């Protein structure tokens, strides 16, 4: 049972475009949704996160849009750059400060120069 799903295994966009990575979840009790970024040879690192009380979270070029009713969220990467090429994991947690992270399978993003 896949509780967190990412709609694309891979995504390619041109440099300067906005990359949109989609994620959906099943459990309405999930309260906290981080996105992790992973470069080859490295561990996943927290990029940006949102709690279910918000519908948008912005940090520089990265924005999360969250739809609680539809149980989905998306990560938008504005003005994408070759250095953004990485695997992005959507994750979910029931309690924002404790408990386990449930991950999606990841989306490998490639930015073409």
Instruction: State which residue, 4 or 64, has the beta carbon closest to another protein.
Output: 4
101 binds another protein (CB under 8 A): yes
Residue 36 CB partners (closer than 8 Å, separation 6+): 44, 45, 46, 47, 88, 89, 91, 103
With CB under 8 A as the contact rule, which of the stretches 15-23, 52-60, 72-80, 95-103 interacts with another protein?
Answer: 95-103
d(CA 105, CA 38): 12
Cβ-based nearer residue to another protein, 12 or 18: 12
Binder of another protein out of 7, 32, 71, 74 (CB under 8 A): 32
Asked if residues 23 and 75 have their Cβ atoms less than 8 Å apart, the reply is yes
60 binds another protein (CB under 8 A): no
Element (H, E) at 90: strand 86-92
Report the residue number, 48 or 111, with the smaller CB distance to another protein.
48
């Amino acid at each position: 049972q896949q509780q967190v799903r990412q709609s694309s295994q891979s995504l390619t966009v041109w440099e300067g475009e906005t990359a949109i990575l989609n994620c959906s979840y099943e459990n309405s009790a999930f309260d906290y949704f981080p996105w992790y970024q992973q470069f080859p040879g490295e561990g996943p690192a927290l990029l940006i996160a949102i709690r279910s009380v918000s519908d948008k979270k912005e940090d520089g070029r990265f924005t999360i849009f969250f739809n609680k009713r539809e149980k989905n969220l998306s990560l938008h990467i504005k003005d994408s750059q070759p250095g953004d090429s990485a695997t992005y994991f959507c994750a979910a947690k029931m309690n924002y400060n404790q408990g386990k992270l449930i991950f999606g399978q990841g989306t490998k993003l490639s930015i073409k120069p």
